[in-house]
Structure formats: structure tokens, C-alpha cells
Structure 1
Amino acid sequence: MPKIQAATVAEHRAMQRKAILDAARDILAQGGSETPSLAAVAKRTGLARSSIYQYFSSKDDLLEAVIVDMFPRWAAYVAARIEEESAPADRALAYVYANLHLVASGEHAIARGLAVFARAEFLAESSKVLHDQLRTPLDEALVALGCEDPGAMGELIQAVVQRASLMLESGILSEDRARALTRELLEPYLRSS
């Protein structure tokens, strides 16, 4: 029996599971053609492939665990940045900046990899939940600004975030430049409301 590398078996299993998820995330973030298979993940973690099966029954099971781990953290990060602001305009900009930061830090690359390799039904369902969680505080900020159609305006702001994200990921913009440009575009509307 292999030695555990933590104070308890439960802590050891949690560490191993995290290492497996991190390896899958790394493979997805690279955006190459390497499939985040259980064999590839085992190789990255230094575990035997059979050991991976103690945590995940299939590649789909592993990728769904990545989604379940990643999406709530994304939503929590954005919500926390929004909560740091009190003025509605600042809250809306915090939404934009938080999402751009996550893209710049590589989180969106993982989501793109999931779009290629994860089961479409599970990803679509989870993405909708994430989208709704993210949009709620933005919509609330837009309502506080007096926006007549916060849903449509939120979609337009999201389109700006998506385009800036593509420019970030392609290396056209740095995170600071993306923030500056989105602020220049959105702030006149947000401050005039």
C-alpha cells in the first residue's frame, strides 16, 4: 500500500483529487490537441492510471468535476469583486474587470478546452447556471442605475467583455489595456445614468 502524504487518509485523498483536477486544468489551459484523458492526467500527476480511477470513473467524470470545481469559483470571484464596490457604476465596472482578470489569468482557456472535450449537455447546463449567477449582480447594478432594459444592456456589456477577452487571449491587449479600453467605452454610459 502506498504511503499517504498527509496527516489523514481523507486529507491525502483530497490532495490527490486536487492534483488530478489541477493536471486536467493544465492540459485544458494549454489549448493544444492533447486530450485530457485519464492516462495524460495520470502522467502529469505522477500517479498510476489505475490510481486515477479511484477518483474518477471516466474522462467525462473528470471533466465534469473540473466544471463543478471551476464555475462556482469563477462566480464567487466576480461576486466578491462586485461586493467591494458600493456605487452602481463601479459595481458594473467591477463585473467587467473581474471577468477580464480571470481571462488574463488563464481561466477562460480552461473553459475553451472544456468546450472541446466535455460532454456538451453537462457543459451547457453548467454554463447557463454560471452565466445566470454572474449576470445577477450586473443586472442589479444596472437596475440601480435606472437602466430601462437591464437584461439587454447586460448582454451588450457582456459582448464587450467577450470581445475584450478574445483580444486578451490573442495577445492584442494586456489586461491593463483591456481594462482601460472597456472603461473608456462603458464609463460614459455608466456615469451618466
Structure 2
Amino acid sequence: MPRITAPTVAEHREAQERALLDAARAVLAEGATEIPGFAEVAARAGLARSSMYQYFRSRQHLLTALIEDAFPRWSERVEAAMAEAGAPDQRVLAYVRANLDLVADGEHAIAAAIASIAPRDVIAESSAAMHRQLIAPLAAALAELGAQDPAAMADLINAVVHAATRQLEKGADVAAVRQHTEELIAPYVERAAARGIPTNSGNNTP
């Protein structure tokens, strides 16, 4: 029987599965062109190959688990950064910074590797869901700033972020790319914040 390294069996299993997923993510980050093999993943996690079958029935099952792990991880990190920022103008800038930080940390490379391996319909569905989840708080912040078309403005900001992402993937300096991106977006949100959040002039209720 394997040695339990956590207070409970459930926590032990969760920790082991997390270790295996992180090992598989490391393989993907190095530019893997196929689903990571069980032997390689287990070795990186410091576990026996047979341990893989306790958590994943097949390499396809491992890929599904990686997809289910990667996309929510990205969304949650961006949403957390925005929630901490407070004011709507700062939430927009936090959105930009968090996305670029994720790219710099290698998360985009992992997502790109998954996208190149997984079936197109699966990736399309997961990507669309993540896009909707990311756009919602960004559009909400832009609406608070008085944007006439928050969704369209959110798409434009995303276009700038995607261009910055391509620069980072080509090896550009992270600090420089982040500075240039904020120089494009910050003036808009700062002007919008200075104008004040629009109110209904006909409503005098405090």
C-alpha cells in the first residue's frame, strides 16, 4: 500500500493528482507535440508509472484533465487580480497585467500546446467558455467607466493584449511589453475615470 503523505486519503489523492498534472504541464511547456506519456509524467512527479492509472484511465483522459485544469486556472487568476484592484479603471489595468503575467509565466505556452494536441471542437468550446468568462468582468468595468459599447471596447483591449502576447512569445522583454501595453490603454481608462461614473440625473435618491 502506498505511503499516505497527507492528513487524509482524499487529500493525499488530490495532492498526487496535482503533482501529476503539474508534471504533465511541465512537459507541455517545453513544446510537446503530443499528449505527454505516462512514463515521462510519472517520472517527473517522482512517482511510479503505475500510479498514473489510479488517476487517469488513458492519455486522452489525461488531456481532458489538463484542459479542465488550464482554462479555469487562467480565468480565476485574472478574476482574482481584478477583484483586488477595486475601482473600475484599475480593474481594467489589472486585467491587462494579469493576462500578460500569465503569458510570461508560461501559461499561454501550455494552453497553446494543449490547443495543438486536443480535438478542435473540444478546444473551441473550452476557449469560447473562457473568453466569455474573461470578457464579462472586463466589460462590466468598462460599463462602469461609461463606455458606450463595453463589449466592443473589451474586444479592442483584448486585441492589444493579444498583440502584446505575440511579442512576449517572440522573446520581447516582459517589463517593456507591459509598459507599452499600459501606455496604450491607461490614458483611456484614466480619462474615463476622471469624467466620473455616469448617473441618472433624474434620480435624486441618495
**1:40 maps to 2:61:** no
Structure-2 residue corresponding to 1:186:
185
| 1:42-191 → structure 2 map (5 Å cutoff) | 42-174=42-174, 176-191=175-190
Total equivalences in the alignment: 192
**1:33 CA drift (Å):** 4.0
Structure-1 residue corresponding to 2:197:
none
Cα distance between partner residues in 1 of 2:61 and 2:120: 13
Letter in 2 for 1:113: A
Cα distance between partner residues in 2 of 1:141 and 1:55: 40
Letter in 1 for 2:138: L
Q: 1:157 to 1:109 in 2, by over 3 A?
A: same
Q: 1:18 to 1:86 in 2, by over 3 A?
A: closer
Instruction: Give SS of 2:130's match.
Output: helix
Cα distance between partner residues in 2 of 1:41 and 1:31: 14
**1:151 CA drift (Å):** 1.4
Segments of structure 2 that go 5 or more residues without pairing to the other structure are 193-206
Higher relative contact order (CA 8 A, sep 6+): 1
Cα distance between partner residues in 1 of 2:44 and 2:144: 48
User: Deviations for 1:97-146, whole angstroms, at most 9, x for unmatched residues?
Assistant: 11111111111111011111223322222221111111111101111122
**Paired residues of 1:29 and 1:109 also in contact (CA < 8 A):** yes
> Over aligned residue pairs, what C-alpha RMSD do you find?
1.8
Higher alpha-carbon Rg: 2
Letter in 2 for 1:120: R
**1:48 CA drift (Å):** 3.3
Segments of structure 1 that go 5 or more residues without pairing to the other structure are none
Cα distance between partner residues in 2 of 1:51 and 1:14: 13
**Paired residues of 1:64 and 1:122 also in contact (CA < 8 A):** no
Q: 1:57 to 1:156 in 2, by over 3 A?
A: same
**Paired residues of 1:135 and 1:154 also in contact (CA < 8 A):** yes
Q: 1:134 to 1:166 in 2, by over 3 A?
A: same
